[in-house]
Each structure stands twice: as C-alpha cells, then as structure tokens.
Amino acid sequence: MNKLLLLFRYLKYRLKAKTRYKVHSQFVFDFINNILRDKKDFTDYSILWEHRNKMADNNDPVETVDFGVGAGKKAYSTKILKLGNIVRLRSLNESRLKLLYRITKFYRPENILEFGTAAGISSTYIKSGNPLSNMITMEGCANLAAKANESFRELGLSNIDITVGNFDNTLKDVLKKIKKLDFVFFDGNHRKEPTLRYFEQCIHFSNENSIFVFDDIHWSKGMESAWEYIKNDRRVSITIDLFWFGIIFFVEGVEKQDFVIRY
C-alpha cells in the first residue's frame, strides 16, 4: 500500500465529505445521529478492547494461510507469524470496531455474515452488538479460526459458526445455510474481482433491511473501482462513504442517493 497515495485519497474524501447538517435524507441523518455520533461508553467496549489487547500481547506462533491480497499472484501463501502481530497488523482500529458494534446494536440484524475472521477481533464486536444474532464468519486459515474460536468461548459468545476455506469454495454452501442476510461485513479479500464476486452472490440473499459494510474501499485503485460499481448498482438504494468503510442499504421507497460523510 502506497501511503502517500492513500493520503491523497483521504484528502479528496475530506474535501467531498459532508456533515450531518448538509445531508438531506432523514434516513442518513438518523444514521449519523444514532450511530456515527453516538458517544455512549458501552460496557462491552472495555471488555472487548481488553481482550483484544491480551491477544495483541500473545507471542504464540501461528502458521497462516492467505488466499487474499497477501498471496500476491499465487493461489495462496503461507507464513508463520506471532499471534500478537496478526492482531496488531490485521485487526481494525478501535474506532472502526466500535462502529461495527454500534451498527449491530442499533439495527439488531438477525443473520450476520463476515468475510475474514482472522483472529476474531471484528467478530467479537459485531456479535456483541446483538448477542441474539446468528453469525457465520468465514476464514481461510484453520489455525487462525481455532484462535478465534478460543476468543468466542472466553467472551461467552455463542451462535458463531466459523467456516474454514477459500471463500470461492465455501460461500455457496454458507449462503444456502444462512438463507437471509441482514448484515454482511466484507473484509477478507481486498481485491476488486473477488469483492464484486462475493457482493453479487450475497445480494441475492438481501432484503430491504439488509446492511452491507465493505472495509478499505479506498485501499487501492481496484477497491475504489469495486466501490464505484457497487454504488451504481440499481438494487442498492443508499450508499455511505466513510473513507475506511463503505456502507450500503436496500431501503425501499427512498430515492437512490450516494453520500460521503465526514467521520
């Protein structure tokens, strides 16, 4: 990732981004007030972050398998990494983790799908927002999936099913199993073609209350291109660009609109 190029993209985002006072959509205005600007210090925050930090201090070696962008032009790559390094380098920052928590806490999605479990940090925030949800999280590396499962048990999180394998091979069966998607977090393969492929498969299981969140939409030219394609899809009614996250809704009865919101 070219940091200077990413900075340039961020500056472009800041120039385009609007505050809540310039948003002429009641749905998006409510999203900003109820979720983006929610400053409540939920008890779960400290519990989850403390657990995350404990994992970040864990130096156990983990043999990892990467089917995503880390594999380069190969089908996959393998590396032995310290668990703590994986947590620090691959997990979202605290602000984005809290945002995922607030989204699921406010909208209470029943069926949740996550692409890219890794060590399970994002999973714990997403699931804790609505503990009664049914969640499937997909991970390419069995060893990382095992570490994530340990986290779920330690935190007392149930009804989380980890599916291990290349998403291209596992997604079809996962969608048959879950049947209806209320919340999807795309964070497992930051490349254009796989992102669009998974989006097309998932959208057939969406409903008017579904929320899809895409991570790192400005991470590369390919991801920006994927985000533009998704924004232009007629089945999507509202899109919100928060720079790091792209969020789409399928609300019926509203004019199709795209928003760039300062966050």
Q: What is the secondary structure of 133-194 as a DSSP string?
A: SEEEEEES-HHHHHHHHHHHHHTT--SEEEEES-HHHHHHHHHHHH---SEEEE-S--SHHH
Give the strand pairing for 77-82 and 61-66.
antiparallel
| pLDDT-above-90 percentage for the chain | 83
Integer Cα distance of 233 and 194 in angstroms: 17
pLDDT of residue 191: 93
Give the chain's domains with CATH numbers.
3-58+91-260 (3.40.50.150)
Integer Cα distance of 72 and 68 in angstroms: 8
Whether the pLDDT of residue 71 is over 60: the answer is no
How confident is residue 114, by pLDDT bands cut at 50, 70 and 90? very high
**Arithmetic mean of pLDDT, 78-88:** 93
User: Residue 59: which of 89, 83, 79, 81 has the closest Cα?
Assistant: 83
Q: What is the pTM of this model?
A: 0.94
Whether the pLDDT of residue 219 is over 80: the answer is yes
**Arithmetic mean of pLDDT, 139-148:** 95
Q: What is the mean pLDDT of the chain?
A: 93
pLDDT of residue 65: 82
pLDDT of residue 120: 97
- CA–chain centroid gap for 263, Å, is 16
Integer Cα distance of 133 and 54 in angstroms: 26
DSSP 59: -
How confident is residue 14, by pLDDT bands cut at 50, 70 and 90? very high
Whether the pLDDT of residue 73 is over 80: the answer is no
Whether the pLDDT of residue 147 is over 70: the answer is yes
pLDDT of residue 69: 61
The residues near 254 (Cβ < 8 Å, ≥ 6 apart) are: 25, 27, 237, 238
pLDDT of residue 75: 57
pLDDT of residue 21: 66
pLDDT of residue 239: 98
**Arithmetic mean of pLDDT, 19-48:** 91
- CA–chain centroid gap for 252, Å, is 23
- Kindly tell me the burial class for residue 131, based on how many C-beta atoms sit within 10 Å of its own C-beta (0-12, 13-18, 19 or more): middle
Q: How far is CA 68 from CA 115, 182, 189, in A?
A: 11, 25, 5
For 3, other C-beta atoms within 10 Å of its C-beta total 7
Whether the pLDDT of residue 68 is over 70: the answer is no
Greater confidence (4 vs 207) lies with 207
Whether the pLDDT of residue 225 is over 80: the answer is yes
**Arithmetic mean of pLDDT, 32-40:** 95
